[in-house]
Amino acid sequence: MRNLLFVSTEFPPGPGGIGTHAHQLSLGLATTGWAPVVLSPQDYATEAEIRSFNAAQPFPIVRLRRIPGPPFEAIYRAGADFAISYASLGAENVFAHLHSRELLILGEGFELLCVLVPPPLVGRTLGDSAITARTGLEVIAIQQNDRMLTHPADSIRLAADNELVMLGSTASRQTFTRIFSA
């Protein structure tokens, strides 16, 4: 069973469509090999209503006072294998639709980045580029013409027409852009 921390801006017994949907999704996930834990504010219901509702669920619910922004670093440190918010899910869905691509959800704060090899790296080996050490992005594949090289070796020489497929945080992507921009 895999752990999933589900962060929602509202959750029953309080009213609201987001909370109702999050509850139904959590119930469904609990039957498909996931062990959800819900993190949600305790708004719009009495303490007694919340205690009664929580006790009737097949998964734990952690209730918090509202805080600014989702605490995803703490969520991962607490043991979640995957975390995502409704805001991110909605944004990713809109961008996927606008760019006519499939929806890809990696988890809160993680991105899949596909970029042409920047000029400062052309002719260098992947190992010499030190992309992971310098930026935190993990190169998971290199697109060379019609071939996708997964688990690329450090000895692969980077060409101008190669595309790097990398996984990492938004901050890592920004670091990559800052360091390797021509």
Which run of H or E residues covers position 131? helix 131-135
Per-residue pLDDT, 92: 64
CATH of domain 110-180: 3.30.70.1450
Cβ proximity of 71 and 7 under 8 Å? no
Q: Which residues pair with 41 in a beta bridge?
A: 64
Q: What is the pLDDT of residues 18-32, one digit of tens each?
A: 888 889 988 988 888
The residue ranges of every structural domain in the chain are 2-98, 110-180
Q: What is the pLDDT of residues 124-163, one digit of tens each?
A: 999 999 999 999 888 988 998 888 888 899 999 999 999 9
The pLDDT mean for the chain works out to 81
CATH superfamily of the 2-98 domain: Glycogen Phosphorylase B; (3.40.50.2000)
Which comes out higher in pLDDT, residue 49 or 103?
49
